């Protein structure tokens, strides 16, 4: 039996390593988004400082380990075998849940997930225990530490409101003082601002965060503990820290011309990474370490019956070896550098907080529209009351400056002043929670601070506010879903293990491994698709020939997609293959999304196309319009076919099937001709291409007449005729649009080259 539980401990630590990887992939957004979003420094330097912060912060997390042991349930009410079931259910659920959120780029809370997983599994095991003893479920309060759990959950929820509010207020005041043109004020106030910011970080990270850390009980002179010495000399330490930072920052500015805000952002990145590790490391290794402590206590007692060994020892203080914390920190650093999923999550926060306009990641929602509309009306009313001179003065402080082309990857999402506020406010709030041993959600805090500062900076203007607010609601909704899913899944797993025996443990471990591998495959495929899209994505910085080449790729892909979708779709329809037809519909949806994305980005290329002596932007707009209309035509043709098969209507007649197969063969040749014409730029063949189109038009007229005859002879019903004519009409539209697309492409190439 001892060997079996040793294996379970090994499984717990294996899951902990996996959890560290998926957890850091999710939480990297917390301390990287400000530095990366503001382009404060090269990425290697940002990752270096973040890594050092994580490594040092890991040693400050010892005091937080109590949450996993006794923060949610009363360990003395459980036996060793039951505690191991609780811990295994938590770790299995955590790995699966976090990995899914990472794959889809949604920042979720590792703190909320671990709290509700512990709660769910503890409740499930408690109910099984109560039922087997013949008790009442009202006894559940004896097993669950409801007071502490409620305090933790309340603290997490309050942190959302507090972080958003504090972030918005601090950013508003900071922007009033420095404005968007902050270089001149920085000459006089920069060192004081930087010194104050870093001193505040130092206070909350080192002084407040010292309590319960691995260094707190180090003895110094006269046998005094380091924690006590720091507490007794806090005022002096803060004063000297402020003076030292002011002098150092000013010297770096004078001697090396290093920008003050860059120093603050990098120091804030280090501090926030440190705060993250100090607060969130418990989310990843707290449960396995508690399981390991339980195993050692059970073995030390003689390894008797696991179903009768009480876990009251977890209620006391249990030290965490520093080397384990450092190993966990190193795993987090490696993940931080190499994780692709971390980059996906970072993108979500940057999209919602960027200062420049661009393609919005989220759509519109009713709640967001109501909020934005009411806020706009309130603002109009306020402007009537506030004196115009005051309004103009404030407005001048909030007039943004251009940070660069919106679609240029090197353009910062926001400036360094906002990045500094993000980091300082978030690190202070998280450190307060850590010092109080409240496992605040670093994700909630950093995300809501970023949203608050972007709101104060007026990054959410009337053209983007609805989409940004919808995005915030989507992320927050995901947070609540995290709690519900974590509680439910963890509870179900714990229940099934309790009822199904030890075999179910390895079943769920296998499921966790499968899910991680599955989501990895999904992410890899999505990354490949994004890379393929970037190959023909036009940016403002592209030269004329690059624009021509990329637009040609877009046109070629449009012809290929159109031909493949209609050929495959009609073939599936004629063979009554509903699954295949729905795959064609999915491909059509992807084609439509890409066409819309290309069209939305067309406006960012106008400036480049209007620089020459001849304005060719309207030809480019025509290309994007025709491509978008082709996607619509394909969609309008497929949807009725899907509905026809889905409702199990009568298939087409043999004559109709033969005619459509002949039609598809002709259109296949036509689209290949289009491809050849554009790819080789043989626009002199355009007359021959038009002749081919006219031949197909003649065939369309012929099969239309045949259909009319079938109607007169009552061979087909109304539904059949409507669908048949719809297919013909949309193919006719596609043929017309194809020629127009080739013509626009020809004119675009010809006149663009004339401008150079």
**Closest of 116, 20, 19, 126 to residue 67, by C-alpha:** 116
What confidence score (pLDDT) does residue 200 get? 80
What confidence score (pLDDT) does residue 633 get? 92
What confidence score (pLDDT) does residue 731 get? 93
Which residues touch 25 (CB under 8 Å, ≥6 apart)? 98, 102, 335, 339, 341, 342, 345
What confidence score (pLDDT) does residue 396 get? 79
**Closest of 159, 734, 217, 643 to residue 438, by C-alpha:** 159
> Using an 8 Å Cβ cutoff, are 213 and 65 in contact?
no
Q: What is the pLDDT of residues 524-560, one digit of tens each?
A: 776 666 666 655 566 655 666 777 787 788 888 889 9
CB-count exposure of residue 248 (10 Å: 0-12, 13-18, 19+): middle
What confidence score (pLDDT) does residue 663 get? 92
> Using an 8 Å Cβ cutoff, are 85 and 497 in contact?
yes
Q: Where are the alpha helices (DSSP H) in 575-616?
A: 578-600, 606-609
Which residues touch 50 (CB under 8 Å, ≥6 apart)? 31, 32, 35, 269, 270, 273, 336
Distance CA 140, CA 146 (A): 10
Q: What is the pLDDT of residues 337-358, one digit of tens each?
A: 776 655 555 555 555 556 555 5
Instruction: Supply 660's token pair.
Output: 């459509």
What confidence score (pLDDT) does residue 660 get? 92
Q: DSSP letters along 326-393, please?
A: HHHHHHHHHHHHH-HHHHHHHHHHHHHH-SS----SS---HHHHHHHHHHHHHHHHHHHHS-HHHHHH
What confidence score (pLDDT) does residue 613 get? 46
Tell me, which fold does domain 536-754 have in CATH?
Methane Monooxygenase Hydroxylase; Chain G, domain 1 (1.20.58)
Distance CA 665, CA 654 (A): 17
Mean pLDDT for the stretch of residues 217-229? 71
> 444-467 in b/e burial notation, b at 16+ Cβ within 10 A?
bbbbbbbbbbbbbbebbeeebbbb
Q: Is residue 712 classed as helix, strand or coil in its secondary structure?
A: helix
What confidence score (pLDDT) does residue 394 get? 79
What confidence score (pLDDT) does residue 177 get? 85
> 397-429 in b/e burial notation, b at 16+ Cβ within 10 A?
eeebeebebbbeeebbbbbbbbbbbbbbbbbbb
Instruction: Supply 609's token pair.
Output: 């196309």
Ramachandran class of 209: left when φ > 0, alpha when ψ lies in -120 to 50, beta otherwise: alpha
Q: What is the pLDDT of residues 411-432, one digit of tens each?
A: 666 778 888 888 888 878 877 7
Q: Is residue 602 classed as helix, strand or coil in its secondary structure?
A: helix
Res 55 pLDDT > 70? yes
CA 585, 587, 591 angle in degrees (round to 5)?
A: 115
Q: What percentage of the chain has pLDDT greater than the value 70?
A: 79
DSSP state of 78: S
What confidence score (pLDDT) does residue 666 get? 93
Q: What is the pLDDT of residues 72-86, one digit of tens each?
A: 777 888 888 888 888
Distance CA 748, CA 547 (A): 10
Domain(s) labelled CATH 1.20.58.220 in the chain stretch across 536-754
What confidence score (pLDDT) does residue 272 get? 76
Q: Is residue 315 classed as helix, strand or coil in its secondary structure?
A: helix
- Of the two residues 579 and 607, the one the predictor is more confident about is 579
CA 700, 705, 709 angle in degrees (round to 5)?
A: 145
pTM over 0.75? The answer is: no
What confidence score (pLDDT) does residue 12 get? 81
Task: HSE, CB side, 13 Å, CA atoms: give it for residue 291.
Answer: 30
> Using an 8 Å Cβ cutoff, are 631 and 588 in contact?
yes
Residue 698: phi and psi, rounded to 5, are -65, -40
3-state helix, strand, coil in the chain (%, to 5): 80, 0, 20
Token look-up 């993250």 returns: 276
Which residues touch 79 (CB under 8 Å, ≥6 apart)? 306, 307, 308, 309, 310, 311
- Of the two residues 576 and 349, the one the predictor is more confident about is 576
- Of the two residues 713 and 387, the one the predictor is more confident about is 713
Distance CA 327, CA 698 (A): 74
Radius of gyration of the chain (CA): 32
Distance CA 448, CA 434 (A): 18
Among 499-513, 523-537, 556-570, 740-754, the minimum mean pLDDT is found in 523-537
Res 67 pLDDT > 60? no
- Indicate the average pLDDT of the chain: 78
- For the chain, count helices (H), then strands (E): 26, 0
Distance of CA 590 to the CA centre of its chain: 20
Q: What percentage of the chain has pLDDT greater than the value 90?
A: 12
> 572-607 in b/e burial notation, b at 16+ Cβ within 10 A?
bbbeebbebbbebbebbeebbebbeebbebbebbee
Q: Is residue 447 classed as helix, strand or coil in its secondary structure?
A: helix
Res 267 pLDDT > 70? yes
Res 21 pLDDT > 70? yes
Among 172-186, 456-470, 498-512, the minimum mean pLDDT is found in 456-470
Instruction: Supply 29's token pair.
Output: 């957004």
Categorize the per-residue pLDDT at 176 as very low, low, confident or very high, splitting at 50, 70 and 90. Answer: confident
């Amino acid at each position: 039996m001892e060997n079996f539980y040793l294996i379970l401990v090994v499984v717990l630590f294996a899951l902990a390593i996996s959890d560290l990887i998926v957890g850091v992939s999710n939480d990297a957004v917390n301390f990287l988004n400000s530095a990366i979003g503001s382009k404060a420094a090269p990425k290697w330097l940002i990752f270096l400082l973040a890594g050092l912060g994580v490594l040092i912060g890991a040693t400050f997390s010892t005091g937080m380990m109590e949450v996993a042991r006794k923060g949610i349930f009363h360990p003395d009410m459980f036996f060793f075998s039951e505690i191991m079931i609780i811990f295994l259910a938590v770790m299995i659920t955590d790995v699966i849940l976090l990995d899914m959120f990472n794959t889809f780029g949604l920042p979720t809370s590792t703190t909320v997930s671990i709290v509700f997983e512990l709660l769910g599994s503890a409740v499930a095991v408690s109910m099984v225990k109560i039922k087997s003893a013949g008790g009442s479920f009202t006894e559940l309060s004896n097993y669950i530490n409801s007071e502490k759990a409620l305090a933790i959950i309340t603290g997490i929820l309050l942190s959302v409101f507090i972080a958003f509010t504090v972030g918005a207020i601090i950013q508003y005041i900071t922007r009033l003082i420095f404005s968007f043109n902050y270089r001149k004020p920085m000459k006089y106030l920069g060192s004081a601002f930087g010194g104050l910011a870093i001193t505040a970080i130092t206070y909350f990270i080192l002084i407040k965060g010292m309590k319960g850390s691995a260094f707190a009980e180090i003895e110094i002179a006269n046998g005094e503990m380091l924690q006590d010495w720091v507490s007794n000399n806090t005022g002096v330490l803060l004063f000297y820290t402020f003076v030292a930072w002011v002098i150092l920052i000013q010297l770096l500015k004078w001697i090396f011309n290093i920008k003050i805000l860059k120093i603050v952002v990098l120091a804030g990145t280090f501090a926030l990474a440190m705060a993250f590790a100090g607060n969130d490391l418990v989310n990843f290794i707290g449960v396995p370490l508690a399981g390991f402590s339980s195993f050692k206590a059970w073995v030390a007692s003689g390894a008797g019956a696991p179903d009768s060994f009480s876990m009251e020892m977890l209620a006391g203080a249990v030290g965490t070896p520093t080397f384990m914390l450092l190993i966990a920190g190193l795993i987090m650093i490696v993940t931080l550098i190499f994780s692709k999923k971390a980059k996906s999550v970072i993108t979500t926060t940057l999209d919602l907080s960027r200062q420049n306009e661009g393609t919005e990641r989220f759509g519109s929602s009713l709640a967001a529209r109501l909020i934005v509309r009411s806020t706009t009306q309130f603002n109009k009313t306020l402007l009537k009351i506030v004196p115009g001179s005051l309004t103009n003065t404030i407005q001048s402080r909030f007039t943004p400056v251009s940070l660069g082309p919106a679609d240029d990857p090197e353009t910062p999402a926001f400036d360094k002043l906002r990045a500094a506020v993000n980091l300082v406010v978030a690190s202070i709030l998280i450190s307060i929670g850590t010092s109080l041993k409240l496992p605040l959600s670093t994700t909630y805090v950093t995300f809501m601070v970023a949203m608050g500062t972007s709101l104060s900076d007026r990054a959410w203007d009337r053209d983007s506010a609805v989409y940004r607010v919808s995005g915030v609601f989507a992320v927050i909704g995901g947070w609540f879903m995290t709690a519900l899913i974590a509680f439910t899944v963890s509870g179900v797993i714990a229940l099934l293990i309790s009822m199904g025996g030890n075999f179910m443990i390895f079943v769920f471990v296998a499921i966790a491994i499968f899910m991680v591998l599955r989501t990895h495959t999904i992410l890899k495929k999505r990354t490949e698709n994004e890379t393929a899209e970037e190959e023909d994505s036009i940016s403002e910085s592209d030269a004329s020939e690059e624009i021509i080449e990329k637009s040609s790729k877009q046109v070629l892909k449009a012809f290929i997609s159109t031909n493949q979708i209609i050929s495959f779709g009609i073939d599936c329809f004629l063979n009554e293959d509903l699954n295949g037809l729905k795959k064609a519909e999915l491909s059509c949806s992807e084609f439509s999304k890409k066409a819309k994305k290309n069209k939305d980005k067309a406006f960012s290329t106008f400036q480049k196309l209007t620089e020459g002596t001849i304005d060719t932007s309207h030809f480019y707009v025509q290309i994007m319009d025709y491509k978008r209309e082709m996607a619509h035509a394909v969609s309008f043709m497929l949807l009725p076919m899907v509905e026809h098969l889905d409702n199990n209507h009568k298939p087409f007649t043999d004559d109709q099937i033969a005619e459509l197969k002949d039609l598809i063969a002709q259109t296949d040749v036509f689209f290949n001709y289009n491809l050849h014409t554009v790819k080789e730029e043989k626009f002199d063949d355009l007359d021959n291409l038009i002749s081919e189109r006219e031949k197909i038009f003649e065939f369309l007229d012929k099969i239309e007449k045949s259909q009319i005859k079938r109607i007169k002879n009552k061979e087909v019903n109304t539904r059949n005729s409507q669908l048949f004519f719809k297919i013909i009409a949309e193919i006719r539209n596609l043929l017309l649009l194809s020629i127009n697309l080739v013509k626009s492409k020809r004119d675009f190439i010809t006149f663009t080259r004339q401008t150079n």
